[in-house]
Amino acid sequence: MRLTWVTTLVALLLTSTPILAADIYCDKSTPCEIGCCGTNNVCGTGPDYCSKAKCINNCDFKAECNPGNWPSQYFNATKCPLNVCCSKYGFCGTTEEFCGEETVKRPSCNIGSQSVKRVIGYYGSGGASRECSAMLPSSFPQGIYTHIYFAFGSIDPKTFKVVAANKADEALYPRLAALKLRDRSQELWLSIGGWTFSDNGSPTATTFSDLVNADETRQRVFFASLTLFMQTWGFSGVDIDWEYPVDHDRNGRESDFKAYPRFLKRLKSALNDYKYGLSVTLPTSYWYLQHFDLENIEPSVDWFNVMSYDLHGAWDIGNKWTGAYVGAHSNLTEIKSSLDLLWRNKVSPSKVVLGLAFYGRAVTLASPSCSEPGCPYLSAADPGLCSGEAGILFNSEITDLISEKKLRPKLYKDAAVKTVQWNNDQWVSYDDRDTWKLKANFLKSQCLSGVLQHWALRSTLTLAPA
């Protein structure tokens, strides 16, 4: 029992960090971090550990889900979020520890007959003003992108009116609109929000949650402002990039789960009057995605943009569950598992766009001799000369590094990623034409509708529709 519980706990926490005996031992003065303390001084869940007759500490602990035969006082929910599996110990997950032999039915298409219908390129508002690798809208490659997303638009937290995130952005809107003169089939969309929009201390920290929970009258102010903004600047669609509904650490509320689909339904109705499109950005992490009611969101959106990048990074430092261990930030093996969460909820693959990154995530290794996945690292890598940010290198910077230092990248074919090491302890994982091709073949095999190239317009590398 002790060994089985340790194994289950490891799977629960999705960690490669060793579990110490102290993590499962308990007594009357040493409570369990997870579970009830049984009379055998072992942490566990359910009636065998949490009943009055068998518990000596932390006896009110409830498991996430019901394995099938527990009384209701021992669990919080009858089933798991996103229809994932409930283990015999009452925890939700997707691995064999939770699901046994149960498998997810994945979509399947013939690669040769499946085409990439959407190729979306993100254009960041700082792209035109960078000291290096700057790109003006007039320099965008032709014949590549079906959609250009301008990132990001913002929302006034008091009035709920759509505004430019930066005053300088307004000078870029007409330049973007001018792209329609050379390619009338290309669509310009506005992406609202972004990963820092809900940061603590930000003026917009609670804005998304406030908006979706507001009454319909106040939401109509947002709808009217948005459609006017789109008409004024030539946008034909909007992407809602809210990555943290419900999550209290990112200023979400429990009510977001039901309020967000209701808000999106109203938004789609308002956009339909102008034949504007609507997409929603989704995280890949189960931790965040569980707060999206996919079943009720899907009918309102034209497609989902899945952020299948930034799976690993320096933010893992200090996290006792994940730890600072080397991992490719766009690992296809992990992406497949993340997409399974969509298939579990019957999301149509025709509404799924797979995100690709045009930058690498880089770290400083703890030991130059240990650079494989799972090896420890110390910190984010040195800032790139162009990126200016520790832990990030633009693809153009990686290409220059490889050329200047005559480096030999390593291809992980199953994971569809490349890595390269330089200056002894500097390491980066990234994508290039070779890995994009592998990922493109994968998305075709899964019947996905397109790719979203994140910050692609900072780079000269492109992936055309195929």
The pLDDT score that the predictor gives to residue 146 is 94
Share of the chain above pLDDT 70, in %: 91
Q: Which two tokens stand for residue 94?
A: 């997707």
Report the CATH superfamily, name and number, of domain 118-458. Answer: Glycosidases (3.20.20.80)
Residue 135 or 23, more confident: 135
Query: pTM higher than 0.85, yes or no?
Result: yes
pLDDT digits (tens, 9 = 90+) for 8-63: 333 333 333 333 334 689 999 999 999 999 999 999 999 999 999 999 999 999 99
Average pLDDT over residues 232-251: 97
Which distant-in-sequence residues (6+ apart) come within 8 Å of 51 by Cβ?
none
CB 420 within 8 A of CB 428: yes
CB 381 within 8 A of CB 390: yes
The pLDDT score that the predictor gives to residue 456 is 53
Domain with CATH 3.20.20.80 in the chain: 118-458
> What distances in angstroms separate CA 373 from CA 295, 328, 368, 456, one per listed residue?
35, 7, 13, 26
pLDDT digits (tens, 9 = 90+) for 178-223: 988 888 899 999 999 998 999 999 999 999 999 999 999 999 999 9
Lowest mean pLDDT among 66-80, 125-139, 151-165, 365-379: 125-139
pLDDT digits (tens, 9 = 90+) for 56-115: 999 999 999 999 999 999 999 999 999 999 999 999 999 999 999 999 999 999 999 888
pLDDT digits (tens, 9 = 90+) for 280-315: 999 999 999 999 999 999 999 999 999 999 999 999
CB 234 within 8 A of CB 184: no
The pLDDT score that the predictor gives to residue 132 is 77
Share of the chain above pLDDT 90, in %: 80
